[in-house]
Chain A
Amino acid sequence: DAGVIQSPRHEVTEMGQEVTLRCKPISGHNSLFWYRQTMMRGLELLIYFNNNVPIDDSGMPEDRFSAKMPNASFSTLKIQPSEPRDSAVYFCASTPSQLAVVNEQYFGPGTRLTVT
């Protein structure tokens, strides 16, 4: 079974450039999450989707960040324009039906973003 797939694994870009991170959840999973991890702030939930619909985007830091889930097998997180303080590891996670009693989240390997 393929797990959660993220691309690219590493991204180095210059300040002001647009960055797009991609995620393919596990087939059949209905919920998808985007997290950001830094030394200073730890693991932060940015946004999550149920059945492709954004449910809670209160963790999105500002308007420069946007996320979409056009279908059940693909999501993007876009930063435009990027800034050095956006440097972090971005994780995508997915989980099965929200109706299940216990839902563990399955994490992807992460995208390490460096903005210079």
Chain B
Amino acid sequence: GDSVTQMEGPVTLSEEAFLTINCTYTATGYPSLFWYVQYPGEGLQLLLKATKADDKGSNKGFEATYRKETTSFHLEKGSVQVSDSAVYFCALRELTGGGNKLTFGTGTQLKVEL
């Protein structure tokens, strides 16, 4: 079945540091890929998405590129802020077979310190 693997957290960085959170996936078809963010005490929000190979999703300074050859969708940001402290979830949705089910990774907690 489909699966998503994320790097384990917590990831602790100083403000303005470069961020990478690794995500790899296993899927039988051609999935769409997503990054969601969860701030403390809130529900998940979509951060960015990509629908096909080589697409780059971007939002709020975050980027991720859909790499079919390495089945990866790593999240990056050039300069993190304290306000980026949150839990980040990688997810996929298969386009074949119908349905709207997303498969989520386990989440990676990011802590940004001054």
Could you tell me which A residues sit within 8 Å of B by CB distance?
Answer: 4, 31, 33, 42-43, 45, 48, 50, 55-56, 91, 93, 95, 98, 101-110
Contact = CB atoms under 8 A, between A and B. Distances in A.
Given A55-B101, A101-B95, 15 more contacts: A43-B89, A45-B101, A50-B100, A55-B99, A56-B101, A93-B44, A95-B100, A101-B32, A102-B51, A102-B93, A104-B49, A105-B100, A106-B46, A107-B43, A108-B43
Given A101-B51, A101-B95, A91 B44 contact: yes
A102 B95 CA distance: 8
Nearest to B44: A107
Contact of B99 (A4, A50, A105): A50
Contacts of A48: 100-101
Given A42-B107, A98-B99, A98-B100, A103 B44 contact: no
Nearest to A43: B104
B71 interface: no
Secondary structure at the B interface, as helix, strand, loop or mixed, is loop
Which residue, B32, B46, B89, B99, has most C-beta atoms of chain A within 10 A?
B99
Given A42-B106, A42-B107, A31 B100 contact: yes
B16 to A, nearest CB: 29
B61 interface: no
B93 to A, nearest CB: 7
Interface of B: 32, 34, 42-46, 49, 51, 89, 93, 95, 98-102, 104, 106-107
Nearest to A31: B100
Contacts of A103: 93, 100
14 contacts: A31-B100, A33-B100, A43-B89, A43-B106, A45-B104, A48-B101, A98-B100, A101-B32, A103-B93, A105-B100, A107-B44, A107-B45, A109-B43, A110-B43
